[in-house]
Amino acid sequence: MTEPILTIVVPCYNEEKVMKETIGQLSVVLAKLIREELIHARSKLLFVDDGSKDATWNLIGEVSKINPFLTGIKLARNVGHQRALLAGILSAREYSDCVISIDADLQDDIAVIRDFILKYQEGYDIVYGVRSKRDTDTFFKRTSAVWFYRFLHKAGVNIVHNHADYRLLSKRALDELSLYEERNVFLRGIIPLLGFRSTFVTYERKARFAGESKYPLKKMLSFAFDGITSFSITPIRWITIIGMCVFLLSLVCGVYALGQRFLGFTTPGWTSIVISIWLLGGIQLMSIGLIGEYIGKMYVEVKQRPRYTIETDLYSRQIQTQEWSV
Ligand code: UDP
Ligand code: MG
């Protein structure tokens, strides 16, 4: 069997502080795997610049002149981690046998890349990197993640716990992924839907070695919300069930109130009226909001806008001119 061509896809947004280190370390890994004849010498590092405002793209351009592994794609504007990642892996699909996605900050242990390849050689199409510990994350991030996974699980979304977007996908899995045309991209939810033989390898997640997280609370919440509402209509069903329970409860209350009335007791009434108005008002607003959320999603989907726009594509250019071939 000839060795597979591997492309490591790295989305980056304002990552100038970590670029050189990341490129250096990943290049060493690639060179080592090539020497071990585990991967093909044409394997590549594909950095996707997600509309960075700093020197990220310049660095990619410069280093790619001296580092034959390195290539890049520049997106026309910032489209977010998930879409940037998608841009990278779908671009890599044509020229690679398998693709590994990893963040630019080297929080994920790159020693595991070798295990990914070994699993791929065993015939797995999808290999998930799963964190064994999360001590390097803040307490808030850890607890919110636990609740997020629990909620998704309850809502019937099949998702691998403690797995971020560090994974290997075979060409077959990538071809299948390219058929998913949704605009609200949530790869952690889509990948398990692809099917195929999959497995996981565990690793310890480290702290970001430079720069800040590009996922502030606002982005994290919107990511969690997208994850839930893009993959499940269970919340809508819950609202319906809550609505039905409240309706039944109000029937009981009605009978009680009528009984009081006919037995001649005078009830002050005020408290119950105010409480029910607030309760029902709250539930109704919540339901309308949630329905709005789904309608909003449909609105975004039906527009069928491009999910990303590539401004400069060093990758295809290099491949076409074969200047990197060995
Ligand atoms: N990222 C991106 N576009 C964005 C935000 C982030 O491409 O709009 C990249 C970022 O450069 C990094 C990865 O996505 O490589 C994950 O981001 P980060 O490390 O900030 O997230 P965290 O590890 O804190 O969840
Ligand atoms: Mg990170």
pLDDT in tens, the chain (326 residues): 689 999 999 999 999 999 999 999 999 999 999 999 999 999 999 999 999 999 999 999 999 999 999 999 999 999 999 999 999 999 999 899 999 999 999 889 999 999 999 999 999 999 999 988 766 677 887 788 888 888 878 777 778 888 889 999 999 999 999 999 888 888 988 899 888 899 999 988 877 777 777 777 788 888 888 877 777 777 777 777 787 787 778 778 777 777 777 777 666 676 677 677 777 877 887 788 788 888 878 877 887 777 888 888 888 888 877 655 54
Atom of ligand 1 nearest to the CA of 12: 11
Q: Cα 304 vs. chain centroid, distance in angstroms?
A: 20
In this structure, the residue with its CA closest to atom 24 of ligand 1 is 213
Say yes or no: ipTM exceeds 0.90: yes
Question: Among all chains, which residue has been given the structure tokens 């990758």?
Answer: 315
Ligand 1 residue neighbourhood (C-beta within 6 Å): 11-13, 15, 50, 78, 80-81, 84, 103-105, 107, 213-215
CA atoms within 13 A on the CB side of 317: 12
The closest residue, in CA terms, to atom 8 on ligand 1 is 80
Q: Which residue has the tokens 């999603």?
A: 297
Of residues 95, 84, 86, 102, the one with CA closest to residue 44: 95
Q: What angle do CA 111, 51, 116 make, to 5 degrees?
A: 20
Atom of ligand 1 nearest to the CA of 212: 20
**Centroid of ligand 2 to alpha carbon of 202 (angstroms):** 17
Atom number of ligand 1 nearest to Cα 103? 15
Distance separating alpha carbons of residues 157 and 152, to the nearest angstrom: 5
Q: What is the CA radius of gyration of the chain?
A: 25
Closest approach atom of ligand 1 to CA 104: 15
Residue 85's H or E segment, with its range, is helix 81-93
Ligand nearest to the CA of 10: 1
Q: pTM of the predicted model, to two decimals? A: 0.81
Q: Give the residue, by CA position, lying nearest to ligand 1 atom 2.
A: 81
